Structure 1
Amino acid sequence: MRGVLRFHENPFQLVQIVNGEKRIYECPQSQIIRAVCSLKYWLQNNKYEIPIYYKIVMPNTNTFIKKRPKKVQLLFNKEISIFLEQLNSLPHKLNVEEFRLLCNQLKTHIKPYNPFPLCHKYNLQPESLNTGMICPCGALLEYSSRRGQCCSNCKAPKQVILEQTMLDWFQLFKPTITNKECREFLQIEDKFTISRLFKKMNLTSIGSTKSRVNHYDYNQPLFKK
Structure 2
Amino acid sequence: MEKKKLQVQLAKAFSRNFSFNRGIYRLIPKLTKSIKRRSDHLIKKEQKLPIKIRKLQALLRRLPSHHKERSRIEGEYAKSLAGYRGENSIDYHLTPYLSKEFLVLHDIRLLKDEKNYFQLDILLLTRSYLLILEVKNMSGTLCFDQKFQQLIRTLNGKEEAFPDPILQIKKQQKNLRKWLLEQHFPDIPIYSYIVISNPSTILKTIPTYSENVLKKVIHAGALEDKIQFLSSRFIENIMTIKELNKLSRLLIKRNTPINPNLLQQFQIPFSEIITGVHCVKCFSIPMKKISGSWICMRCQHTSKDAHIASLQDYALLFGQTITNKDMREFLHLSSPSSASRILMTMNLEYTGSYKYRKYQLPL
- Residue 118 in structure 1 maps to residue 262 in structure 2: yes
**Partner residue of 1:128?**
272
CA distance in 2, matches of 1:100, 1:139: 47
Q: Tell me, yes or no, if the aligned pair for 1:115 and 1:121 is still in contact at 8 Å.
A: no
- Residue 51 in structure 1 maps to residue 189 in structure 2: yes
- Residue 178 in structure 1 maps to residue 323 in structure 2: yes
Q: How far off is 1:199 after superposition?
A: 3.3
**Partner residue of 1:215?**
360
**SS class of match (2:189):** coil
- TM-score, normalising length from structure 1? 0.65
Deviates more, 1:134-143 or 1:181-190: 134-143
Q: 1:107 to 1:125 in 2, by over 3 A?
A: same
Q: 1:114 to 1:204 in 2, by over 3 A?
A: farther
Q: Tell me, yes or no, if the aligned pair for 1:135 and 1:141 is still in contact at 8 Å.
A: yes
**SS class of match (2:192):** coil
Q: How far off is 1:94 after superposition?
A: 2.2
> 1:80 is matched with which residue: 211, 217, 224?
224
**SS class of match (2:252):** helix
**SS class of match (1:133):** coil
Amino acid at match of 2:276: G
Which consecutive residues of structure 1, in runs of 5 or more, have no partner in the other structure?
16-26, 219-225
- Residue 8 in structure 1 maps to residue 142 in structure 2: yes
Deviates more, 1:185-194 or 1:38-47: 38-47
Q: Tell me, yes or no, if the aligned pair for 2:142 and 2:202 is still in contact at 8 Å.
A: no
**Partner residue of 2:105?**
none
**Partner residue of 1:165?**
310
**Partner residue of 2:99?**
none
Amino acid at match of 1:201: M
Q: Deviations over 1:123-160 (max 9, x none)?
A: 43223323223446564436334155521212233446
CA distance in 2, matches of 1:170, 1:108: 23
> 1:192 is matched with which residue: 337, 343, 352?
337
Q: Tell me, yes or no, if the aligned pair for 2:169 and 2:194 is still in contact at 8 Å.
A: no
The structure with the larger Rg is 1
Q: Tell me, yes or no, if the aligned pair for 1:133 and 1:162 is still in contact at 8 Å.
A: yes
Aligned residue pair count: 200
CA distance in 2, matches of 1:217, 1:148: 23
Which consecutive residues of structure 2, in runs of 5 or more, have no partner in the other structure?
1-85, 90-138, 144-149, 156-161, 206-212
Q: 1:35 to 1:120 in 2, by over 3 A?
A: farther
**SS class of match (2:350):** strand
**Partner residue of 1:222?**
none
CA distance in 1, matches of 2:168, 2:305: 38
Amino acid at match of 1:191: P
> 1:41 is matched with which residue: 169, 175, 178?
175
CA distance in 2, matches of 1:214, 1:67: 52
Q: Relative to total residues, which structure has the larger helix share, 1 or 2?
A: 2
Q: How far off is 1:186 after superposition?
A: 1.7
Q: Tell me, yes or no, if the aligned pair for 1:139 and 1:153 is still in contact at 8 Å.
A: yes
Q: Tell me, yes or no, if the aligned pair for 1:36 and 1:52 is still in contact at 8 Å.
A: no
Q: Tell me, yes or no, if the aligned pair for 1:149 and 1:157 is still in contact at 8 Å.
A: yes
Q: Relative to total residues, which structure has the larger strand share, 1 or 2?
A: 2
Q: How far off is 1:175 after superposition?
A: 1.2
The structure whose RCO (Cα within 8 Å, separation 6+) is larger is 2
Fraction of identical pairs, as percent: 21
